[in-house]
Amino acid sequence: MRLLSILSLIVLLLAGACSSKKKQAELLEQTKPTWLKERPVSTSFFYGIGTTPKVGGEVYYKEKAKEKALSDLAKQISTTIKSEQNLYRMEDNKGVYEYFQSRVKATSNEFLEGYQYVDQWEDLSNYYTFYRLSKSEFYALKAKRKEDAMKLAYLKYKQAQEAQQQKDIILALEQYAAAIDAISGYLNEEASIETETGKIDLYEVNKDALSDLVNSFKLNADTPSIEVTPNSSVKGGQLQLALTCGGYPVKNIPVRFNYSGGFLVNDKMKSDEDGIILTPAFDFGSQAKETLKANVDLKELSRQVTRNLIVRQLITHQSQAAMSITVEASK
């Protein structure tokens, strides 16, 4: 009998608690703000709303709701983040992935700079927060960012020209690449600037200058052939190649070798201070003739001078300076 009374009391308490919670939820629903009942639309502001379950500490779920609100805010503004992701996934090595991440972060910051907290609300289960961003401020900031990017690109262009005049080709390539990188977020927009010599398109002048430099590379050797002993291991440095750009020697340019007679232990070299590259060691068999090919490694060069994939593609699509050396059996 006593057990039955206890059970009855528990049932009554649970029923009362459920009824109390239901009543509390109904009262809370009456206080729900307008921005949750119907998403606001304005000609003056972008809006972002974030919702998260009230799980974990208060600081944690409030921060999560803020993150979601700002993410929602960014989606109202543009699809630029998505297009950046598509562009910077063209290579998946570690370096490029880090660059892709930083580009997305930078783009997000551009979207969200100047956002304002508006309101918050919570019910028994979830926390909601509301942010906004002034459209006039956003477009003014965006215009200022573009102006700064154009100025930086022009500065890098001038520095690249100076480096080129001083025959520092690697530095010139790096600066032309930096100029394109500075305006890579605006390539679908007007990218011209007025200079003391007239109006120039910053993308086109840097692209053309960079392409001209790469296409000016030349590989030469004093002789196109060498004689070696059959069935022997040939030491490196049997022949010197000279790498030039516009007739001047160029240092620190990557060159790759390919040998018809088999595997090369070291198939990658770089030009020294005088633009010289020594041929690698290789094994010569019983064939009367083999071919040792050398070419400027444009893929490696592109990675050396920039992390921007637009510029990397531009470099790798240029003509590749190359030459062949005939390796003949001595008689």
Pair of tokens at residue 249: 């020697």
pLDDT of residue 197: 86
pLDDT of residue 55: 93
| Long-range contacts, 88-97 (Cβ 8 Å, 24+) | 88/309, 90/309, 90/313, 91/309, 91/312, 95/303, 95/307, 96/307, 96/309
Q: Is the pLDDT of residue 83 over 50?
A: no
Asked whether the beta carbons of 121 and 32 are under 8 A apart, the reply is yes
Domains of the chain: which residue ranges?
141-214, 216-329
Q: Is the pLDDT of residue 20 over 80?
A: no
For residue 226, what are the CA distances in angstroms to 221, 222, 238, 318, 324?
11, 10, 8, 30, 11
Pair of tokens at residue 247: 């007739």
Asked whether the beta carbons of 294 and 241 are under 8 A apart, the reply is yes
Q: Which residues pair with 290 in a beta bridge?
A: 327
The dihedral sign for the CA sequence 241, 244, 247, 251: negative
Asked whether the beta carbons of 259 and 290 are under 8 A apart, the reply is yes
The mean pLDDT of 212-231, rounded to a whole number, is 94
Q: At 109, is the pLDDT very low, low, confident or very high (cuts 50, 70, 90)?
A: low
pLDDT of residue 86: 44
The lowest-confidence range among 26-40, 106-120, 145-159, 212-226 is 106-120
CA neighbor of 271 nearest in space, from 211, 308, 218, 324: 218
pLDDT of residue 84: 44
The mean pLDDT of 59-77, rounded to a whole number, is 90
For residue 24, what are the CA distances in angstroms to 14, 29, 55, 122?
15, 9, 19, 12
Instruction: Collapse the DSSP code of 22 into the 3-class scheme (helix H, G, I; strand E, B; otherwise coil) and give the result.
Output: helix
Q: At 196, is the pLDDT very low, low, confident or very high (cuts 50, 70, 90)?
A: confident
According to CATH, the topology of domain 216-329 is Immunoglobulin-like (2.60.40)
pLDDT of residue 7: 52
Q: Is the pLDDT of residue 144 over 50?
A: yes
Asked whether the beta carbons of 213 and 245 are under 8 A apart, the reply is yes
pLDDT of residue 100: 47
